[in-house]
Structure 1
Amino acid sequence: MAVLSCVIIDDEPLPKALLQDYILQTPFLQLTGVFSNPLEALAALQQQPADLVFLDIQMPELNGLQLKQLLGNHCKVIFTTAYPQYALEGYELDVVDYLLKPISLERFLKAVAKARERIAPVPEKTAPFLLVKTDGWTQKVNLHDLLFAESLKEYVALHTVRGKIMTLQSIRRLEEVLPAEQFVRVHKSFIIALSGMEGIERNRIRIGSHYIPIGEHYKAAFMDLIARKNLL
């Protein structure tokens, strides 16, 4: 899953703190800057652009509409404002989305999902299988056979339709090589195949006879993914 760098520009402390909290709950976002002064933010972004900017409109010295024009296409922008009258002008500036304060987590997740679709590069074609080392030899694991992966300290258990395979590697490394459109991290110790998911019960996912926990850190992004893809 590609990680997007993001910056908050807002002169109001409470909305700024709320956005920080939402970003920390979203696995594919990384907060790289928080600014109250739009001129300072402009200087920083000219030196090092971010993938995504959460930009307030009503600010002293330089408003968000002016700042967006100065930024050009170097960063994608989501406007965050209490004033709906700027929506049309905002969309004419080709912003990703326009969020009205107070911003709910659900609405925030929809906006950043749109941003990810516009920013993240097209995934490279991946082989339909993994090659993993186990018991002194290299074994081929077809991706369509893989139901979920479970971290067991320095090992990972690959649960497939044919049985369990133990391999010496980290789940983080496995997450990097598995295609993001087919597999998703739902817990610090678990990656699941979306195609193998049979249901969700409270905070766990049913795959065959197994129940996979959904970690609090991953829950919001996972539920948003399920809603967008209409998987259940």
Structure 2
Amino acid sequence: MEIKFIVIDDEPPALQVIKTYAQEFPWLKLQHTFTDAVSAAEYLRHSQADLIFLDIHMPDINGLDLARGLTNRPMIIFTTAYKQYAFDGFELEAIDYLLKPIPFQRFEKAVQKAQLHQQQQLLPTATESLLVHSSYHMVKIPLHEIIYIESLEDYIRIHLTKQAPVLTLMTLKKMQEKLPAARFRRIHRSYIVSVDKVRSVINRKVKLSSSAELPVSDSYSDFIRDWKGNS
């Protein structure tokens, strides 16, 4: 499965490093390189890329600002000499954050993450797991281990059967879009539950396999009817 990518970096030697490393992976297909963010932004308005290697410190537009301004944001791997922007990259759900000078082994790990992410995005009905960013790592979560998902303003906490909860920067709405609708239902503005982990529904509350009890709000009361109808 091909990944079409572009590289944006105002330093030609840095561009060459990415190009050289990428030649070791036949499924990485270079589309274009740019030494300024303005030209890259114009290109992305009319052309598609699956992945961007994006420098952060550039003279015209900061790489973070460029990423934030993209309407249909491709996968992004940030490349920079500055550690202090790691959290910003994490906030933008970057696939990885590579510090210059970039060792080949770290490049390889980053593009493998991109490959796995693309496979999951292109085959949503076949996947039995999802990837999320947590503590600056990509964490793979099997769908069958999810009990429920809790909203904490800008973050969500994923409660699991076999491990500690996983905290990730994402909205509950965006997470809901990633999950198969038949298996996961929203019951409240703050909760999504795994349908097969629901053990009972009493007085507008669901009791889960973990013994947790969660409220069902009026806006999502159709869940109770549907659950009883399928029980």
Q: TM-score, normalised by structure 2?
A: 0.51
TM-fit CA distance, 1:124: 9.5
Which blocks of at least 5 consecutive residues in structure 1 are unaligned? Answer: 126-232
Partners in 2 of 1:72 and 1:112 — Cα distance? 23
3-state DSSP class of the match of 1:118? helix
Which blocks of at least 5 consecutive residues in structure 2 are unaligned? Answer: 127-231
Q: Which amino acid aligns with 1:122?
A: L
Tell me the residue number matched to 2:102.
103
TM-fit CA distance, 1:23: 1.0
Partners in 1 of 2:73 and 2:60 — Cα distance? 21
Partners in 2 of 1:123 and 1:67 — Cα distance? 28
3-state DSSP class of the match of 1:78? strand
RMSD: 1.6
Partners in 2 of 1:18 and 1:122 — Cα distance? 31
Q: Which has the higher contact order (CA 8 A, sep 6+)?
A: 1
Partners in 2 of 1:74 and 1:48 — Cα distance? 12
Tell me the residue number matched to 2:48.
49
Show CA shifts across 1:177-222 (max 9, x none). xxxxxxxxxxxxxxxxxxxxxxxxxxxxxxxxxxxxxxxxxxxxxx
3-state DSSP class of the match of 2:44? helix
**Aligned residue runs from structure 1 range 43-192, under 5 A:** 43-120=42-119, 121-122=122-123
Tell me the residue number matched to 1:172.
none
State the percentage of identical aligned residues: 44
Partners in 1 of 2:28 and 2:89 — Cα distance? 23
Change (3 A) 1:123 1:71: closer
Residues 67, 73 of structure 2: 8 Å contact kept: no
Tell me the residue number matched to 2:143.
none
3-state DSSP class of the match of 1:42? helix
Tell me the residue number matched to 2:13.
14
Q: TM-score, normalised by structure 1?
A: 0.51
TM-fit CA distance, 1:63: 0.7
Residues 56, 78 of structure 2: 8 Å contact kept: yes
TM-fit CA distance, 1:34: 0.2
Tell me the residue number matched to 1:34.
33
Residues 50, 75 of structure 2: 8 Å contact kept: yes
Aligned residues: 124
Give every structure 1 segment of 4 or more consecutive aligned residues whose post-TM-superposition deviation is greater than 3 Å: none
Residues 7, 53 of structure 1: 8 Å contact kept: yes
Q: Which amino acid aligns with 1:54?
A: F
TM-fit CA distance, 1:123: 9.4
